[in-house]
Amino acid sequence: MKQLRLRATVGALLAGNLLACMFAPAAMASSHREAPFITKHPKIDATDFYMFRSYQAGRSDFTTIIANYVPLQDAYGGPNYFMMDPEALYEIHIDNNGDAKEDLTFQFRFKNTNKDTQLTVGGKKVSIPLVINGGAIAEANAGGANVRETFTVNVVRGDRRTGTRTAITNATGGSATFDKPLDNIGTKSIPNYEAYAAKHIYSVNIPGCATPARLFVGQRKDPFVVNLGETFDLINIKAPAVEFSPTAESDAKDDLARKNVTTLSMEVPTACLLSTTVSDPVIGGWTTASMRQGRLLNPVPKSDADASREGGAWTQVSRLGMPLVNEVVIGLKDKDKFNHSKPSADAQFADYVTNPTLPALVEILYGSAGAKAPTNFPRNDLVAAFLTGVTGVNKPLTVTPAEMLRLNTSLPVTASGAQKRLGVIDGDTAGFPNGRRPGDDVVDIALRVVMGKLCTLSIGCVPGDAPAGALRFTDGAFLDETMINNSFPYLKSPIPGSPQM
């Protein structure tokens, strides 16, 4: 009995301090405000990246890719709400031959058009102050919208800057310009938001791909869950390990429960993502955002579009593949450097994976109580999880070690209703880290893996290398597939700025 109590106490201490280190003030969730520079530019801050075989009925031949941006959106965030940055370049990259370089890139650019809705007041026409809406909205580019936000998508084959670039077009009518729905202002402005948003799901033609893809860009409920408040309150977590409480995995609140994000979602025929020269079902993916090198501020702008001028080459300032990497793996001094880097240069960050500081910090704090970090160095289990893919699961035939989300498109889909929220470590090979589905609880998975869960599965190490590897760490914020839609674009409708009338 005494040993059982000690094991539970150690588990609690481990998990509590692990969480404290994970959610340092610069990291507000999976990748919400994860590096100093990106906190200045929330419109180009990537929050989460997902890539998985579509589990909507009849769509298993497709791969869904989701890149979420603009963190911590409050539904009442008017009057400007959360339009994307027209001066930025948003990209989703696919590596389909294991060399850590992009082979396909989907590039998104945005444009905001001020429709300048006016009212006649005292015989004079005067522009209204509302930024987004001037009346009820039910259609794309509705008359009641004061601003029209549109976007284009190009596909680049080869290097993202020097490769062959062609436009993705609407399968209906052939236009290369798409309307983005307004954010969910509230039920008076947009009485049926889900029906309105559905009119912005497009069937699109990707040059070189025989089967149409699907495309949606717009605001959604943030699917990520995490317990932040208790963590910051001197690690005041009620039950940070299942060994401490059988209900530990759902004992805490989700501090993102009332937050929205903006999603860039594509459902692409899997065959169109695979290499035409290498017979390998594994693809890697990540998302980036870039800004122009130069900005000149106008001291006397004549309009909102005249406030600044951007110029020069594109400079990458945001990067996200695997969740939680820049938060809990990369050291503070290199967080901005990581966001500016490419996977092909990830050898410079190898020590953070092979010799991670997080488990060592836990042992320093609680070694006297029996808490021991994994002892296998280099940490080949983490190399497999973060840099190469796991052999027999999602490791390419040939691979250059690099951080990205990897998906084995040949492994079977787990149907909606049968998914396991802990993915591969719970026997569901269609889940994280084999790609990532919105219903995968990556915080709990990452907590367990960093303390040696893969060693208990003899992946990169053996059970004896990880004295705490079997403990079931948790932040107490529960996530599973029931909190996600089961059809494209999978994420729930965003929270409205005002309740139902």
Asked whether the predicted pLDDT for residue 34 surpasses 90, the reply is no
Average pLDDT, the chain: 87
Weakest-pLDDT range from 21-25, 141-145, 234-238: 21-25
Question: Would you say the pTM of this structure is higher than 0.85?
Answer: yes
pLDDT at 476: 86
Which amino acid type is present at position 245?
S
Question: HEC profile for 433-450?
Answer: CECECCCCCHHHHHHHHH
Neighbours of 2 (CB within 10 A): 6
Handedness of CA 232, 235, 236, 237 (dihedral sign): positive
List C-alpha distances in Å: 257 to 66, 225, 356, 439, 473: 19, 7, 31, 14, 21
Asked whether the predicted pLDDT for residue 328 surpasses 80, the reply is no
Helix/strand number for the chain, H first, E second: 10, 16
State pLDDT tens for residues 311-323: 999 999 999 999 9
190 CB contacts (<8 Å, ≥6 apart)?
136, 137, 138, 182, 184, 196, 496
State pLDDT tens for residues 275-300: 999 999 999 999 999 999 998 988 88
Query: 364, 437 in Cβ contact below 8 A?
Result: no
Weakest-pLDDT range from 118-122, 197-201, 365-369, 471-475: 365-369
State pLDDT tens for residues 137-171: 889 988 888 889 999 999 999 999 999 999 999 99
Asked whether the predicted pLDDT for residue 35 surpasses 80, the reply is no
Element (H, E) at 261: strand 259-269
Question: HEC profile for 269-295?
Answer: EHHHCCCCCCCCCEEEEEEEEEEEEEE
